[in-house]
Amino acid sequence: MISFDEQTQVFHLRNDRFSYVFEVARGRYLLHRYWGRPLHAFRGSAELPALDRAFSPQPEDYENERTFSLDVLPQELSMQGHGDFRIPSLGVVLPDGTDVIDLFYDGYRILRGKPGLQGLPALYAQEDEAETLEVTLRDPRGRLKVVLSYTVFAGDGVLTRSVRIENTGEAPLRLKQAASFCVDFPDHAFDRLSLYGGHAAERSLERCRLLRGIEETASARGASSHQQSPFLALARPETGELAGEVYAFSLIYSGSFSMKTEVEQFGTTRVVAGLNPADFSWQLQPGEVFQTPEVVCVYAADGLNGMSQAFHAAYCKHLLRGKYRHAVRPILVNNWEATYFDFDDEKMDALAACAADLGLELLVLDDGWFGHRNDDNTSLGDWTVNRKKLKGGIEGVAASAHRRGLKFGLWFEPEMVSKDSDLYRAHPDWVLRAPDAPMSFGRHQLVLDLSRPEVQDYIVACVSKILETGVVDYVKWDFNRHLTEAFSAGRTPERQGETKHRYVLGLYAVLERITQAFPDVLFESCSGGGGRFDAAMLYYMPQTWTSDDTDAVCRQAIQTGTSYVFPPLTMGAHVSVVPNHQVGRVTPMQTRAFTAMMGCYGYELDITQLSEEEKQEVRAQVALYKRLRPTLQLGTFTRLLTPFDGTKNETAWMFTSEDAREVAVFYFKTLAEPATPIRRLRLAGLDPDARYTFREYYPAQTLSHDSLGMARQSLAGKTFYGDELMQEGINVEKIDADFTAYLWVLEKEA
Ligand code: DGJ
């Protein structure tokens, strides 16, 4: 998979999905040469331009060679100072205050498998699944060593890269930038894709023509954020969901990040991705090493679905860990939208009884069970049960669930503290704050300083104490504000710029300790919904609450947006009450259910208040979901229609089981239209030579009426070859209501 040609000094990283090539030029410089479809061999048919470019400087050793300038050469690691004026990926300040440092190629090694990253989550692989290339660069004056790590996975369309920076000198250095990845493309004929949003409106797809100059997708919130996601893609303008070239980047990091593109004067494009340099600085003492987060890079020749499927496969195989890595997830009922803070033993017991009756599998007790938290003003940090609400304690609620054959889950928000809490009164210095400056509050709460070991220990002890009772099967780990005044009491002034990154490292240390100590617990991360839906959190917790918006129409967009990077198996998705609590919309129960069936399914409403007819419908949904769950959660996901293009009025998703035998197709239409066009839905990814039979069909609102609705469908029981279903497609029957949802289930002949 990885080779180095001594003669041409070319590194060629290749599998059956892509080739990635760079060379050592003049024995010193790492120049990027190719990334795209796999090549037999790289011989340099397109030579690097050797032109005398005005205002592009020469390094001193090449003063008389005016066609040689770092400003125009494609770099694997960009630095300012010697004449590359484009975005740098590494910035090092020397003790004399200058930031000009040479880094020359020094050697390489190729390893089987993939070493872990110190203190950071990363993709993992067995020895026979991947190869890793480590290329070393050194400062000729012995002050700095930099190692670029690239991993190629057999059969997976992803390439990872990270950077290790070591102070090999005798004086401290300051890192002002330490990006994980840098690449230069020879042209700029791209659309730029990113995921933007806000609280309860996460991950909408933005697709615009890549502009000249610098564009940035970033967070400076100390979290990967609702607002922008650590994802960027460059797609050819003609690239669609099912065809065309795309390059994409997903950062395994939960804090402030930056993903920049620069189209420079000669029309080439640079991408730099990693930690946000505007929110970072780091003192590197002699002998110390700094490890950057990892970027997962995809080249796909088969459209945006090809890109997403490469991310999904890699994240399922090489990122998720533990007992639930490749296991179906329980159907839950969560009491948050059912009761908010207003619950007690009796209410929880009633929910448990009803959940068991409906066939649900997990009862989750959300916020409000500890301290005297009857609203969001108080008690974060005091993780002792409120006996006024729960006379039998956590054990009592858990027993009520377990007795009925349900698992039991509990909410925590361990990184936070309320001003009104015993913890804050005892340790006011444990919060992030600037000395002699007012503090900013978010939801009345402050952020604990997770960069401090004693705070990490406190969190581990509090959560462990409850999990050690053995009655908690699931944890929802919430995080409901972003970092302000990110300074740490006791840290020296020159190290204060490290606090946000040290916070994230502290969080990872805490999560590693807790998740390893309780391997049977299913963890779901959350941040006011999907404010920290990133690959790093998924390394510790294999699912994330996708959004605080539970409206079906909004969720179709949020989940579709999330699917550009993350597989359905990682997305928490629940059926909630109507009128919806976030947007007031009234949608049919079936539409809410079919929308939520895309992810880790559950109910988040007061199920005890459902009418008998509605309960019947829920039982039917639950039974259907249990039947389809392996296909929906563990199969291959394909977007057929997205709410981001076309009429913005339709969404269609397709799931194919791991053995390719079962196919489920969901279609949603937001608003009904007069003179309605007939929607022809073309399926994708089928075997053109295989025969598929329509086994089940659920037209709009079927589950609330008769049983399977097959009678209304002319396709029922009919068999077609895959090629016809993909080329000719099927018709969606006429729609005469808003917010409708359809489902077809097909079976492939053995
Ligand atoms: C935000 C989460 O996203 C909600 O689901 C809920 O857990 C609340 N926090 C509780 O405060």
Q: For the chain, what is the total number of helices (H) and then of strands (E)?
A: 12, 38
Per-residue confidence at 646, pLDDT binned at 50, 70, 90? confident
Stretch among 255-259, 268-272, 298-302, 694-698 having the lowest mean pLDDT: 694-698
Instruction: Look at residues 621, 49, 738, 639 and name the one whose alpha carbon lies nearest to residue 358.
Output: 621
Q: Whose CA is nearest to atom 9 of ligand 1?
A: 528
What is the mean pLDDT of the segment spanning 515-541? Answer: 98
Per-residue pLDDT of 407-465, as tens digits, reads 999 999 999 999 999 999 999 999 999 988 999 999 999 999 999 999 999 999 999 99
Quote the CA–CA distance of 734 and 673 in Å, as a whole number: 10
- CA distance linking residue 295 with residue 44, whole number of Å: 27
Q: What is the mean pLDDT of residues 154-183?
A: 97
CA pair distance 239, 259, nearest whole angstrom: 21
Q: Are 735 and 669 in contact (CB under 8 A)?
A: yes
545 within ligand 1 shell (Cβ under 6 A): yes
Encode burial over 633-660: b for 16+ CB neighbours within 10 A, e otherwise.
Answer: bbbbbbbbbbbbeeeeebbbbbbbbeee
Query: Residue written as tokens 């009655």?
Result: 471
CA distances from 315 to 252, 337, 436, 530, 531 (A): 10, 30, 44, 18, 19
The mean per-residue pLDDT over the stretch 477-490 comes to 96
Give the residue whose CA is nearest to atom 4 of ligand 1: 528
How far does residue 367's CA lie from ligand 1's centre (Å)?
7
**CA 695/CA 624 separation, integer angstroms:** 13
Flag whether pLDDT at 706 surpasses 70: no
Candidates 478, 534, 549, 551; catalytic one: 478
Q: DSSP letters of 570-582?
A: GEEEEEE-SS-TT
Residue 175 near residue 282 (C-beta atoms within 8 A): yes
Distance CA 662, CA 2 (A): 37
Atom of ligand 1 nearest to the CA of 411: 7
**Ligand 1 nearest-atom number relative to CA 527:** 3
Q: Is the CB of 412 under 6 A from ligand 1?
A: no
Is 659 labeled as catalytic in the residue annotation?
no
- All residues at 6 or more sequence positions from 156 whose CB lies less than 8 Å from its CB, including other chains: 15, 17, 310, 313, 314, 317, 318
CB of 360 closer than 8 Å to CB of 603? yes
CA of 601 to the centre of ligand 1 (A): 17
Q: How far is the CA of 355 from the centre of ligand 1 (A)?
A: 20
186-190, 314-318, 701-705 — which is least confidently predicted? 701-705
What whole-number percentage of the chain has pLDDT above 70? Answer: 99
Write phi, then psi, for 267 (nearest 5 degrees). 85, 10
Three-state SS for 318?
A: helix
Which of 339, 526, 527 to probe ligand 1 with, by most ligand atoms within 8 A of CB?
526
The predicted-structure confidence for 346-369, as pLDDT tens digits, reads as follows: 999 999 999 999 999 999 999 999
State how far the Cα of 668 lies from the Cα of 733, in Å rounded to an integer. Answer: 12
* Tally of CA atoms within 13 A in the half-sphere of 228 that contains its CB: 21
Lookup result for tokens 């007031």: 584
pLDDT tops 80 at residue 709: no
40 CB-contact burial (10 Å; exposed 0-12 / middle 13-18 / buried 19+) = exposed
* Residue 35 confidence (pLDDT): 98
How far does residue 437's CA lie from ligand 1's centre (Å)? 29
Take residue 160 and report the two structure tokens written for it: 């990872």
* E strand map for 592-649: 600-604, 636-641
Q: Let me know: does 208 contact 514? Beta carbons within 8 Å.
A: no
411 lines ligand 1 (CB under 6 A): yes
- Which residue has a Cα nearest atom 11 of ligand 1? 367
| DSSP string covering 444-460 | TEEEB-TTSHHHHHHHH
Please work out whether the CB of residue 528 comes within 6 Å of at least one atom of ligand 1.
yes
* CA-wise closest residue to 730 among 678, 675, 668, 681: 681
Give per-residue pLDDT as tens, 74-90. 999 999 888 999 999 99
If you measure from the C-alpha of residue 528 to the centroid of ligand 1, how many angstroms do you get, rounded to a whole number?
5
Q: What is the rounded distance in angstroms from the CA atom of residue 609 to the CA atom of residue 629? A: 26
How far, rounded to the nearest angstrom, does the alpha carbon of residue 294 sit from its chain's CA centroid?
A: 13
- Is 478 catalytic? The answer is yes
Distance 606 CA to ligand 1 centre (A): 16
Which residues is 660 bridged to in the sheet?
A: none
Residue 187 has pLDDT above 70, yes or no: yes
529 lines ligand 1 (CB under 6 A): yes
Which tens digit of pLDDT belongs to each residue from 360-410?
999 999 999 999 999 999 999 999 999 999 999 999 999 999 999 999 999
Amino acid in the structure at residue 183: V
Residue with tokens 């804090």: 255
What CA–CA distance (Å, rounded) separates 268 from 132? 28
CA-to-CA distance for 245 and 181, rounded, in angstroms?
A: 20
Query: How many residues are there in the chain?
Result: 750
Average pLDDT, the chain: 96
pLDDT of residue 710 exceeding 70, the answer is no
453 alpha carbon to ligand 1 midpoint, in Å? 27
User: Prior bond to 579 cis, omega within 30?
Assistant: yes
Residue nearest to atom 10 of ligand 1 (CA): 367
H-helix segments, 234-281: none
Q: What tokens were used for 488?
A: 């740490």
* Identity of the residue numbered 415: E
Distance 634 CA to ligand 1 centre (A): 27
**Ligand 1 atom at minimum distance from 476 CA:** 7
99-135: pLDDT as tens digits? 999 999 999 999 999 999 999 999 999 999 999 999 9
549-606 pLDDT per residue, tens: 999 999 999 999 999 999 999 999 999 999 999 999 999 999 999 999 999 999 999 9
Cα–Cα distance measured from residue 324 to residue 519, given in angstroms and rounded to the nearest whole number: 9
List, as one string, the DSSP characters of 516-547: HH-TTSEEEE-BTTBTT-SHHHHHHSSEEE--
Residue 330: DSSP 8-state: P
| Residue 480 CB–ligand 1 contact under 6 Å | yes
Bridge partner residues of 745 (DSSP): 664, 696
Measured from the CB, is residue 332 less than 6 Å from ligand 1?
A: no
Find the catalytic residue in 279, 548, 549, 551.
Answer: 548
Tell whether the model's pLDDT for residue 701 goes beyond 90: no
Q: Under 8 Å CB-to-CB from 7, ≥6 apart: which residues? A: none
